[in-house]
């Protein structure tokens, strides 16, 4: 039976047939045995070659883009309050601590005073100019009442912690700095692995694509460009409406996609988080 293990040519098959014939098995048993060996070979070939190809094809199905993270040279992220560009750093042998990506500020919203800040400012100004009046029948000589009145005045003019602005842009347009590689990698991972569900376009639905949540422009090493426009969440808040590589001609139909809501967390970060952390410098 050792000769059964390595058959491949026609001569080997004839030897196997003669070997099995000498064993004096019934002809039907020999046919079943050979059929089992043949089917086993087919199953083996499918498991080793066919299945990986099918799985790879399944993974590629419904992918939004066809590129890898290593193919990306530049990413421009435009949100409602800023536009920043990430450029891949050239590897430097003498600088091991250099980040993989550099960030450049292209556009940033002007600093505006929030409603809470405005109210806190008014309270502070009025507190400085206001004198606490004492009732006519109160005694000024009572030190306890006087201290309580001062405490009440201080409490009234102290602004709430909520009055603080969430983000105060300090950097100027054109400023370049090392980027936070982890957050850039997270964004690229979502772009590379993004799968979509195509849905019919309905003019009655506001997809939020005219005033998008974010627009991501990707430039590859081979100078090919891609674009992803992210709109509003869908009706059950599980996905985002999006457009990938919109047509250049306005008359061409637009294909609306549904992509993972993880994109919202990948693009909607304050400017400070996109910068390299101080502990990494």
Q: Model confidence over 136-179: pLDDT tens digits?
A: 444 444 444 544 445 554 444 444 444 444 445 467 889 999 99
Distances (CA, A) of 201 to 101, 192, 205, 251, 253: 37, 25, 8, 14, 9
Q: Are residues 103 and 217 in the same domain?
A: yes
pLDDT at 48: 72
For residues 275 and 179, membership in a common domain is answered with yes
Residue 105 belongs to some domain of the structure? yes
pLDDT of amino acid 160:
43
What is the rounded CA–CA span in Å between residue 59 and residue 239? 20
Question: Do residue 180 and residue 264 come from a single domain?
Answer: yes
Q: How far is CA 114 from CA 13, 106, 117, 119, 165, in A?
A: 85, 24, 5, 9, 7
Which residue among 99, 133, 163 closes a domain?
Answer: 163
Strand, coil or helix: what is 257? strand
In a domain, 15, yes or no: yes
Q: Is residue 114 part of a domain?
A: no
Please report whether residue 83 resides in a domain: yes
- Is 129 within a domain? yes
pLDDT for residue 159: 45
CA distance 52 to 21: 38
What pLDDT, on a 0 to 100 scale, did the predictor assign at position 44?
A: 72
Does some domain include residue 51?
Answer: yes
Pair (183, 256) in one structural domain: yes
Number of domains in the chain: 3
Query: Would the CA dihedral through 153, 154, 155, 157 be positive or negative?
Result: positive
Give 175's contacts (C-beta < 8 A, 6+ positions apart).
104, 105
234, 239, 243, 245 alpha-carbon torsion, rounded to 10°:
180
For residues 102 and 157, state if they share a domain: no
Do 40 and 179 share a domain, yes or no? no
Q: Which of 118, 209, 98 is nearest to 159 (CA)?
A: 118
Last residue of a domain, one of 22, 40, 60: 60
- Nearest in space to 217 (alpha carbons), one of 108, 66, 77: 77
Report yes or no on 174 lying in a domain: yes
What number of residues does the chain have?
281
SS3 242: strand
Task: Say whether both 239 and 273 belong to one domain.
Answer: yes
Exposure string for 229-239, b = 16+ CB within 10 A, e = fewer? bbbbbbeeeeb
Tell me: do 240 and 184 sit in the same domain. yes
Based on the fold, state whether residues 38 and 125 are members of the same structural domain: no
Domain co-membership, 174 together with 157: no
Parent domain of 143: 119-163
Contact yes or no for 259/242 (Cβ under 8 A) = yes
pLDDT (0 to 100) of residue 100:
92
Beta strand residue intervals within 192-246, DSSP E: 197-199, 214-220, 225-233, 239-244
Could you give the dihedral angle defined by the CA atoms of residues 187, 193, 198 and 203, in that order, rounded to the nearest 10 degrees? 0
Q: Report the C-alpha gap between 126 and 120 in whole angstroms.
A: 10
Tokens of 206: 């506001």
Burial of 188 (0-12, 13-18, 19+ CB in 10 A): buried
Per-residue pLDDT in tens (0 to 9) along the chain, 281 residues: 444 444 444 556 566 666 656 666 666 776 777 778 778 777 777 677 655 555 544 455 689 999 999 999 999 999 999 999 999 998 766 666 678 999 999 999 865 444 444 555 555 555 555 444 444 444 444 444 544 445 554 444 444 444 444 445 467 889 999 999 999 999 999 999 999 888 888 887 889 999 999 999 999 999 999 999 999 999 999 999 999 999 887 777 788 999 999 999 999 999 999 999 866 66
Residues 42 and 102 in one domain: no
Among 146, 163, 180, give the residue marking a domain's end: 163
Type and span of the H or E element at 63: none
Are residue 105 and residue 51 in the same domain, yes or no? no
């Amino acid at each position: 039976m050792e000769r059964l293990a390595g058959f491949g040519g026609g001569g080997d098959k004839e030897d196997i047939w003669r070997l099995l014939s000498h064993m004096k098995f019934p002809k039907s048993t020999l046919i079943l045995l050979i059929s089992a060996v043949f089917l086993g070979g087919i199953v083996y070939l499918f498991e080793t070659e066919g299945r990986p190809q099918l799985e790879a094809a399944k993974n590629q199905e419904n992918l939004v883009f066809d590129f890898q993270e290593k193919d990306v040279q530049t990413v421009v992220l435009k949100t409602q309050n800023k536009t920043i560009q990430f450029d891949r750093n050239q590897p430097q042998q003498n600088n091991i601590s250099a980040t993989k990506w550099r960030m450049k500020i292209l556009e940033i919203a002007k600093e505006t005073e929030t409603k809470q800040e405005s109210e806190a400012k008014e309270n502070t100004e009025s507190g400085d100019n206001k004198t606490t009046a004492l009732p006519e029948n109160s005694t000024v000589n009572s030190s306890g009442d006087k201290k309580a009145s001062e405490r009440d005045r201080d409490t009234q003019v102290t602004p709430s912690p909520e009055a603080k602005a969430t983000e105060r842009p300090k950097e100027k347009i054109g400023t370049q700095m090392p980027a936070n590689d982890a957050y850039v990698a997270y964004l690229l991972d979502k772009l590379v692995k993004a799968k979509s569900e195509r849905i019919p376009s309905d003019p009655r639905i506001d997809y939020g694509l005219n005033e998008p949540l974010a627009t991501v422009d990707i430039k590859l090493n081979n100078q090919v460009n891609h674009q992803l426009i992210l709109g509003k969440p869908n009706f059950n808040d599980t996905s985002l409406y999006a457009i990938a590589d919109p047509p250049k001609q306005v008359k061409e139909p637009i294909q609306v996609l549904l992509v993972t809501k993880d994109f919202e967390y990948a693009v909607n970060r304050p400017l400070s988080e996109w910068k390299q952390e101080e502990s990494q410098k």
